Amino acid sequence: MSVPPRIGFIGLGIMGRAMAANLVKAGFNVSVYNRDRAKAAPFEEKGCGRASTPAELAKRCDVVITMVSDPTALDAVLEGPTGVFSAGFAGCLLMNMSTVSVEYTRRLMKRCFEERVKFIDCPVSGSRPLAENGTLVLLAGGEAEDIEAVRPALSAMGKAVIHAGPAPGGTALKLCVNLIIAGVTSALAESAALAGTLGLDPRLIFSVLSENPALNCAYFRMKERNILEGDFAPAFALKHMLKDVRFMLKEAGGRGQALPVTAAIEKLMSESERAGDGEMDLTVIHRRLSRRG
């Protein structure tokens, strides 16, 4: 691996584009790949390399970072004749930062082991503003020496690295943390719907939350405008949280662990997705709750 490593970044969506931009800002040699080529153009303008395929990207890099939607997207960029694994990537390091299941991460670890590729699972906690400020919390699973090798790059994207033991520890920790976010967001949306039903201005809820030091949380302030103004432009799309909630239920169910609150949230979010709201911010569940009366 060259020092500093040549980094290939795959997935320039809401999160990936901000994270890759912070790597460029920190002076790393970054090349990018995105399925929709238009999203790579701003990086080319900054002097980054743009690859036409994930394999072409992997050939010119020591570290490949993936930040795509889900397992289907990861398979699309890793496997097949133009995927990362077709590039002869042995000895290099793959760091998946997308949120996927523990089961998928285990399979990916095995695949990397067979290909003699080092692997870290490193999903992130924090949404678009934290990605843009480089203050994400990074939940890393892997060998300590591999994490140390990429620590300068991690520091460019996040303010803290929590080492959750060997992979798939990062993914397991991410699902536990997102369970809380799913619950808190659903509670906010439901509370605002109840306020409306009781003839109260839902703004009052946010006033109480911000005045009470035990409840004054930046997440509530981030989501306040979405709920009060009905502006559901996505920072974290409902479809991605629903994917995570389903991973939680599947992993828990397979081990005999009941998650009754998460199961109810899955039902609520599925209804919104079926109504065509999957691409909107996850707070969009408030719209259906308040229409239901």
Which positions touch ligand NAP (CB under 6 A)?
A: 11-16, 34-36, 39, 67-70, 72-73, 76-77, 98-99, 124, 127-128, 235-237, 240
Nearer to ligand NAP, 239 or 286 (CB): 239
Least distance in angstroms from the C-beta of 132 to ligand NAP: 11
Q: Residue 113 contacts by C-beta under 8 Å, 6 or more apart in sequence? A: 119
Residue nearest to ligand NAP (CB): 13
Helix axes 102-114, 169-197, angle to 10 degrees: 160
Nearer to ligand NAP, 2 or 72 (CB): 72
Sign of the Cα torsion 190, 288, 69, 35 reads: negative
Nearer to ligand NAP, 22 or 34 (CB): 34
Per-residue burial over 20-47, b if 16 or more Cβ lie within 10 Å, else e, is bbbbbeeebbbbbbbeeeeebeebeeee
Least distance in angstroms from the C-beta of 25 to ligand NAP: 18
Least distance in angstroms from the C-beta of 230 to ligand NAP: 19
Least distance in angstroms from the C-beta of 138 to ligand NAP: 11
Nearer to ligand NAP, 117 or 235 (CB): 235
Taking Cα atoms as reference points, which of 52, 51, 13, 14 lies closest to residue 30? 51
Query: Do residues 82 and 64 make contact, with C-beta atoms less than 8 angstroms apart?
Result: no
Nearer to ligand NAP, 238 or 268 (CB): 238
